[in-house]
A and B are shown apart, each in its own frame.
Chain A
Amino acid sequence: MSDAKTTLERTPLYQWHRENGGRMVDFAGWSMPVQYSSIIDEHVATRNAAGITDISHMGRLRFEGPGAPVFLAELFTRRVADLKEGQIRYSLVTNDEGGILDDILVGFYHNSYGQPYYVVVVNASNREKIVRWVHEHLPPERANRPGHEIIFTDLTHLWAMFAIQGPRSIELLQPLVDADLAWMRYYRGAQVRILHPAAQRQGGIISRTGYTGEDGFEFSVGAGIAREVWEVLIEMGKPLGLVPTGLGARDTLRLEAGMPLYGHELSEQIDPFKADLGFACHLTGYDFPGRDALLKIEQNPPSQVRVGLEMEGRRAARQGCPVMAGAETIGEITSGTFSPTLKKPIAMAYLHRAYAQVGTVVAVDIRGRIEPARIVPLPFYHRKKKGTAK
């Protein structure tokens, strides 16, 4: 057994995963379940009923104090100061060259004493990098500037977070919280009381967000009550068809939904415009790292763009497979899997824009053998909309 394995981080649900058939893998330095039963079964359950995933490995960073809104606006690509209570916004962190350091969610709440704070959710694989980036930009003289103080706390180990996703997730969660979830819009959240003795009168944060393409919620609770609340959710969810889902299904779900993943579609070598995330860049407000570079990049259309591909055969293209037009390499696969919903292999790639039109047939070099693929619109999967979620 290697030393690296013994030092993997564990979420508060680690023992539960082990006791319930979770197949544990190293994910960004955390021991996480990739699946419990079958990735396909967990995926299908999420599409048809509901799935619950432990995402406590994701970094949660809190910023408080009168200086926080301007500090964050000067660090992220998108506006911060205009966030309303309970509003959540997808944003990016870029380096001075405009390369993507991380993609994040910024939420704005007030605590029970009426003090405002921001919660920034970052990728597990980037947490340490972003924490360093924050410290680099937050020297003591900045953090302690009179009247503009900023308090930064890494909450990651203090709070657990669960993703409850799928059409029946609202039925499952509504009896457990004191917020009216039917009226909670997409990308909104709220501090709630948890209406179950297992929570020991502690509160949580629930938001209508997710990474699956389904209606669903993300639910943060204190690490100390995480297992108890998780077990209540599993028990109450059983009659609704809820299953625990691992990171394997989380990946196939997000891929069908056409959502980018850091380390695949996003990296420091990729800028937001190439990644089709220009909407997340507000270049005329605060001066954040990379803004000047992005103003220049915006002037020239990217040579490569992000596309969706459907394989015509049965072999799945995987990250790193070259995409060809004749003998010419025109791009590279960033993510690929078998789609449980479409029952065929799908992939995302960056391709030269001349080949990016929907319907174009290209060739993917899968381990030395050429397989045809067709450009299709993203996302691969659209849920049937119903209910009040906007």
Chain B
Amino acid sequence: MKPEELRYAKSHEWAHLDKQGDELIVTMGISAFAVEQLTDLVHIDLPSPGTKVTAGEPCGEVESVKAVSDLYSPVDGEVVETNESLAGNLAVLSSDPFGEGWMVKIKIMDENQMSGLLSRDEYQEQVVDAESE
């Protein structure tokens, strides 16, 4: 997926909406910036299919040597697929955070949810602000 076509949460998750027939499926991961900030990832804990998630609420965790960070769901919905291969190959998060490093797919009911997320440019601005602090 192209980073410029994704939507972003302030908490560094990305989201991509895909319309499959009449179903709305959001794929979620974390940004390259987030992966770079975390470094030394050692563990990931993702919600299983069937889990209900809420926008802005923790839905999993990613752990580095130094600390553990929550993953926040960018949308309200239900997890329909989890990237099970990530746990055994966390390096993918560094090499391809916007593709093979996807984390979960979430079925949503209302695509307007996506408009609450940041565009690539808006997200980049926030990252620049965070770095200059």
User: Does A340 count as interface, using CB distance less than 8 angstroms?
Assistant: yes
Within 8 A of B (CB), among A307-346: 314-316, 318, 337-338, 340, 345
Given A35-B39, A39-B40, A40-B40, decide whether A337 and B65 contact each other with a Cβ distance below 8 A: yes
| Chain B residues in 8 Å Cβ range of A337 | 65-66
Taking A40-B40, A315-B43 as contacts, is the C-beta distance between A338 and B63 under 8 angstroms? yes
Q: State the CA gap A252–B39 with chains docked (Å).
A: 15
Q: How many residues of B contact A (CB 8 A)?
A: 14
List residues 114-133 of chain B with CB under 8 A from any CB of chain A.
133
In whole angstroms, how far apart are the Cα atoms of A248 and B39 in the complex? Answer: 11
Decide yes or no whether B68 CB sits under 8 A from chain A: yes
Interface string of B43-79 (1 = CB under 8 A from A): 1010000000000000001011111100000000000
Residue of B nearest to A37 (CB): B39
Q: How far is the CA of A252 from the CA of B67 in the complex (A)?
A: 12
How many of A's residues come within 8 Å of B, CB to CB? 18
Q: How far is the CB of A248 from chain B (nearest CB, A)?
A: 6
Contact of B68 among A34, A38, A367 (CB under 8 A): A367
Q: B92 contacts the other chain (Cβ, under 8 Å)?
A: no
Give 1 or 0 for each of A24-56: 1 = CB within 8 Å of chain B CB: 000000000011001110000000000000000
Q: Is A354 an interface residue (CB 8 A)?
A: no
Q: Which of A38, A315, A367 contacts B40 (CB 8 A)?
A: A38
**Inside 8 A of A338's CB, which chain B residues have their CB?**
40, 42-43, 63-65
Find B65's partner among A5, A252, A314 (CB 8 Å cutoff).
Answer: A252
User: Least Cβ distance of B71 to chain A in Å?
Assistant: 13
**For the complex of A and B, 9 pairs with smallest distance between CB atoms:** A338-B42, A314-B43, A39-B65, A39-B40, A338-B65, A40-B40, A38-B40, A38-B39, A248-B66
